[in-house]
Structure 1
Amino acid sequence: MDDVVIGIDASTTAVKAIAFARDGAELFQARETYPLSNPAPGHFEQDAEHWWAALLSALKQVADKIGASRVKAISIAHQRESFTLIDGAGKPLIPAILWLDERARRQVTRLSEELGREAIRDWSGKPPDPTPALYALAWLMEHKPNVLAEAAALVDVHAFFAHRLTGRLVTSTASADPLGLLDIAKGTWHPRLVEAAGLRPQQLPELIVPGAICGLLSEDIAAATGLKAGTPVVAGAGDGQAMGLGMGVDGPGKSYLSLGSGVVSGSYSAMVTTSDAFRTLVSPTGSGFMLETVLRSGMQLVDWIVRITGSPSAAVLEKAAMTAAPGSDGLLVMPYWAGVMSPYWDGAARGAVVGLSLDHEPRHLFRAVLEGIAFEQAIATDAMEEQTGKAAAMIAAGGGTNCALLMEIMANVLERPLFVSPVNEAAALGAAMLAATAIGWFASPEDAAKAMAGPPARRVDPVEALIPTYRARKAIYRDLYHATRDIHARLASLRKTSG
């Protein structure tokens, strides 16, 4: 029986603990869900104890199935930006505030004015936006100062788990970075950002590089899970970076494209560089950086269209949309149903459908939404590749890869072939690669990625004859946000007044 490593993926909805072999084969997966709370408009929270209970259960299932003696290391990938505050005994003092939370929009404005918008972006690598924890912490400083002052520590998901698994209060730089409190160039806590968050330096976890050993599994946790005491717990990364590594994006010349509810893309950069066009993140390999773009509304727009049109399924609409010509008979869709992060960082922005006529049918709207997602991605990719150079390979994963029409449109608009990853659980696999490297299976995370990621499942090529058509429409699409920005800002102002 061969040895295995466990990759943990603690997402917004569930903890997955997956046993992987040395070749990256998934041997067994345990998944435990937990609830999401929305106690007030824009507030999204979870009980960190639910994360912990789910992790213990998932690890026990893996140990029972695989055998404790086979498990040689554990590593953690997780939902980014989400955090809680703990007391000296490690117990949460508040519900965890999630990356989805938008309560701190006023704090984004305040800190941008006080510290300078560009200064925050260049220090942290993140243009000001409610997603990083910095702003929710500033909200706590204003609304719950006592709990913030009395907390023993701020913990991201990684630090919360590592502390309970090993007794050591430590997190990975690639896990802490999305909180928005790191000096991206130095990989250390930034004093001005920590102060702006209302924290003291002693309230922060120790930082180590991804792939370093956080500590060893304690006796009591070993007893609770069935794993062996002393099993190394390896520093992982946020799920976005870990996903890229799991898809084989381990250095220059490659980029990843995750087509899920949102659309996330990333490219490796050897040098630190910051821009409104992307977020800059610590690389999960511990060397270099990942430039990342995020479109909040991705495949969830497909679900939305199915719902509002009353169509039996997305497959039925997709089949109909294939009969619509490229360009959707003059329709353009700006897919900002949930606002926009890169490159405009505008929470007031909303979706727009332009060019409607009495001749349009649901099939045109479906195709136009897919084209809008592709146009948005192409603009984001262009901006990233001004810094990194054009990627020789773009590797796609996520539910959207099952939509053949979207993949065809993406290849045409991006003007390159897309390679579909064979990996379903890329974030957990990325964590497993770091575990495998830490215990000496591979010399580096890059070597682990080459051995464990596997060859592409398929390739989708662009149709050269359609590239000019899409290129002309992309040029028009590029102006759509600027044409509607003030209108959406005025509508948002009216919503606030009436609300």
Structure 2
Amino acid sequence: MKHYIGIDLGTSAMKLILLREDGVICNTVSKEYPIAFPKPGWSEQNPEDWKAALLAGVPELIRGMNPLDLAGIGCGGQMHGLVALDEQDQVVRPAILWNDGRCGRQTDWLNHEIGTEKLMQWVSNIAFAGFTAPKLLWMKEEEPENFARIRKIMLPKDYINYILTGVHATDYSDAAGTLLLDVAHRCWSAPMLKICGVNDSQLPKLFESYEPIGTVKEDLAASLGIPAALPVAAGAADNAAAAIGMGVVGDGGCNISLGTSGTIFLSSEGQIANDNPALHIFAHADGGNCLLGCMLSAASCNRWFMEDILKTDDYAAEQSAIMEEKLGCNPVYFLPYLMGERSPINDVNARGVFFGMTMDTSRADLLQAILEGVAFAIRDSVEIAAKNGLLPEKSKICGGGAKSPLWRKIFAAVLNLPLEIPENEQGPGIGAALLAEAAGTRANIRQLSREYAHASETVLPDPVLVERYEKRYQQFRKIYPACRELFTEFAKEQEV
């Protein structure tokens, strides 16, 4: 029976999955690597550490199996990171990661001097400090000697594919997060390349995520113990790969992820309108497009309150104190903007706020407010999506926060959507393996994705709670506008 390797190149570790063609996960391996923070707000990694994880991880993953049963490799990975190679394909400098904040000035210049209207026209998105284009501008201004050495600009998972195949390639879903891709026309944006001072020859060739870009090099295959003719898929950005693994494909697909940050991913076969630039229009790994909303603090709000404030890690015990009759009736609200916010308010100065506390407020009320506040903030993005014709009938929900039955119940009611719990939640690795299967067999990736994804449980919205939470949400959405000017004022005071 054929087997496929799926690679998830994460920020802290590479996770490898061995997936059999009947959908059984035969083995998993994880290899950690360090993150460097050379200066406050900076975040870097050495791509050689990713290579080392690959070289160590694959032999361990396939140990005990017949390597001739392998039929393909796919990789999903962290987005936006700048990997610069010189003319000998050597890494010019450590990769600047998605969560690096050094490019604030360049980001502001793009949004204000070039203008968000032009950016939306050229690349369907405005600039964020995490995106690749501002990193290129920073490197051009701050490290001109290194910038002059660049012969290839790649993304993290594309560097792994290069190590495997020797091919400089990327896929549309990952390229969309660079701010260099004309998402609507599926090509590199000439105006943005000119602004960043780079040309087509410095950029990798574009592929659909499920297309093969080449085969594993003979010398590397020998060291890994795998066949040299093994096809390698173009792969996908982490969110897109995860969506493939959970069956979120075609029109109407939706996934909510409750991790450290929170995302809502909505898929569409056609072009997507967007009247809020803080939501991203990206290409999807299924050949269509997606609308992505990202809130910076989701499950991390809960962890902050539990571990830093209450000094406990017994999450279940704390949530058990929240009474059923209080759901939808809590007088306390929480703005979950502990690290500022991206989607949909796009305000770096926003901060966390408890509102409505009295002498009767309990710790259970505060915890409930946090769980509800995160759900309300995700609904803000759902509301924007609905205005642009993307209102899902149901959604998958995953991530650490989604393991809480109470939080799932709150989310279902706040969004008024059935929420499906995936049977297997292995992140982008599963999606990457399915992309490898599609690349090797030319099977339809949407069909593969839907056949693989199964729900272990569906949480239906309680009609009584839906009505209660509708009223609470309408009140919640008034709090941020009332605080916006104060957030800006306080931020200016802290700069002095």
Query: If the length of structure 2 is used for normalisation, what is the TM-score?
Result: 0.96
Output the amino acid matched with 1:247. Answer: M
Say yes or no: does 1:293 pair with 2:271.
Answer: no
Distance in structure 2 (CA, Å) of the matches to 1:194 and 1:435: 30
Please list the CA deviations of residues 179-223 of structure 1 after superposition, one character each: whole Å capped at 9, or x if unmatched. Answer: 111011111111121222232322111111211111110011112
Q: How many residues align?
A: 493
Distance in structure 2 (CA, Å) of the matches to 1:122 and 1:405: 42
Q: Which residue of 1 aligns with 2:363?
A: 362
Aligned-residue Cα RMSD (Å) equals 1.5
Q: 1:209-248 counterparts in 2 under 5 A?
A: 209-248=208-247
Q: 1:88-107 counterparts in 2 under 5 A?
A: 88-107=87-106
Tell me by how many angstroms 1:388 deviates. Answer: 3.4
Say yes or no: does 1:383 pair with 2:384.
Answer: yes
Change (3 A) 1:111 1:225: same
Q: 1:63-78 counterparts in 2 under 5 A?
A: 63-78=62-77
Tell me by how many angstroms 1:63 deviates. Answer: 2.5
Tell me by how many angstroms 1:327 deviates. Answer: 4.3
Output the amino acid matched with 2:451. Answer: A
Distance in structure 1 (CA, Å) of the matches to 2:146 and 2:183: 28
Q: Which residue of 2 aligns with 1:305?
A: 305
Secondary structure class of the residue paired with 1:333: strand
Tell me by how many angstroms 1:321 deviates. Answer: 2.4
Tell me by how many angstroms 1:101 deviates. Answer: 0.8
Q: Is the 8 A contact 1:261 1:300 kept in 2?
A: yes
Tell me by how many angstroms 1:450 deviates. Answer: 2.1
Tell me by how many angstroms 1:24 deviates. Answer: 2.2
Distance in structure 2 (CA, Å) of the matches to 1:384 and 1:217: 40
Distance in structure 1 (CA, Å) of the matches to 2:302 and 2:341: 18
Change (3 A) 1:92 1:106: same
Range that drifts further, 271-280 or 483-492 = 271-280
Secondary structure class of the residue paired with 2:297: coil
Q: Is the 8 A contact 2:232 2:439 kept in 1?
A: no
Secondary structure class of the residue paired with 1:420: strand
Q: Is the 8 A contact 2:393 2:418 kept in 1?
A: no
Q: Is the 8 A contact 2:435 2:445 kept in 1?
A: yes
Q: Which residue of 1 aligns with 2:185?
A: 186
Change (3 A) 1:5 1:312: closer
Q: Which residue of 1 aligns with 2:273?
A: 273
Q: Is the 8 A contact 1:78 1:237 kept in 2?
A: yes
Range that drifts further, 64-73 or 100-109 = 64-73
Say yes or no: does 1:321 pair with 2:318.
Answer: no
Q: Which residue of 2 aligns with 1:479?
A: 478
Output the amino acid matched with 1:293. Answer: G
Output the amino acid matched with 1:22. Answer: E
Distance in structure 2 (CA, Å) of the matches to 1:463 and 1:401: 17
Q: Which residue of 2 aligns with 1:160?
A: 159
Distance in structure 2 (CA, Å) of the matches to 1:333 and 1:423: 32
Say yes or no: does 1:203 pair with 2:202.
Answer: yes
Tell me by how many angstroms 1:112 deviates. Answer: 1.5
Output the amino acid matched with 1:177. Answer: A
Secondary structure class of the residue paired with 2:388: helix
Range that drifts further, 232-241 or 429-438 = 429-438
Distance in structure 1 (CA, Å) of the matches to 2:358 and 2:88: 63
Please list the CA deviations of residues 285-332 of structure 1 after superposition, one character each: whole Å capped at 9, or x if unmatched. Answer: 12x201111111011111111121123421221112246712463111
Please list the CA deviations of residues 320-369 of structure 1 after superposition, one character each: whole Å capped at 9, or x if unmatched. Answer: 22467124631111111111111121111111111122221221111100
Distance in structure 2 (CA, Å) of the matches to 1:409 and 1:351: 20
Change (3 A) 1:84 1:462: same
Tell me by how many angstroms 1:65 deviates. Answer: 3.8
Please list the CA deviations of residues 10-54 of structure 1 after superposition, one character each: whole Å capped at 9, or x if unmatched. Answer: 011111111111232211111101111111111111111111111
Q: Is the 8 A contact 2:275 2:388 kept in 1?
A: no
Structure 1: gaps (5+ residues): none
Distance in structure 2 (CA, Å) of the matches to 1:263 and 1:425: 17
Say yes or no: does 1:401 pair with 2:389.
Answer: no
Tell me by how many angstroms 1:173 deviates. Answer: 1.5
Change (3 A) 1:23 1:495: farther
Q: Is the 8 A contact 1:397 1:423 kept in 2?
A: no
Tell me by how many angstroms 1:158 deviates. Answer: 2.6
Secondary structure class of the residue paired with 2:42: coil
Q: Which residue of 2 aligns with 1:418?
A: 419
Q: Is the 8 A contact 1:324 1:363 kept in 2?
A: no
Distance in structure 1 (CA, Å) of the matches to 2:177 and 2:227: 32
Distance in structure 2 (CA, Å) of the matches to 1:346 and 1:4: 45
Q: Which residue of 2 aligns with 1:34?
A: 33
Q: Is the 8 A contact 1:105 1:130 kept in 2?
A: yes
Q: Is the 8 A contact 2:83 2:155 kept in 1?
A: yes
Q: Which residue of 2 aligns with 1:170?
A: 169
Distance in structure 2 (CA, Å) of the matches to 1:25 and 1:322: 40
Range that drifts further, 192-201 or 475-484 = 192-201
Secondary structure class of the residue paired with 2:8: strand
Range that drifts further, 74-83 or 275-284 = 275-284
Distance in structure 2 (CA, Å) of the matches to 1:196 and 1:23: 48
Say yes or no: does 1:343 pair with 2:344.
Answer: yes
Distance in structure 1 (CA, Å) of the matches to 2:390 and 2:304: 35
Distance in structure 1 (CA, Å) of the matches to 2:237 and 2:58: 19
Distance in structure 2 (CA, Å) of the matches to 1:209 and 1:137: 24
Q: 1:453-464 counterparts in 2 under 5 A?
A: 453=453, 455-464=454-463
Structure 2: gaps (5+ residues): none
Output the amino acid matched with 1:373. Answer: V
Segments ≥4 residues shifted beyond 4 Å: none
Q: Which residue of 1 aligns with 2:452?
A: 452
Q: Is the 8 A contact 2:122 2:191 kept in 1?
A: no
Distance in structure 1 (CA, Å) of the matches to 2:223 and 2:296: 38
Change (3 A) 1:40 1:386: same
Tell me by how many angstroms 1:262 deviates. Answer: 1.1
Q: 1:17-56 counterparts in 2 under 5 A?
A: 17-56=16-55
Distance in structure 1 (CA, Å) of the matches to 2:27 and 2:124: 37
Secondary structure class of the residue paired with 1:416: coil
Output the amino acid matched with 1:291. Answer: L
Q: Which residue of 1 aligns with 2:2?
A: 3
Identity %: 29
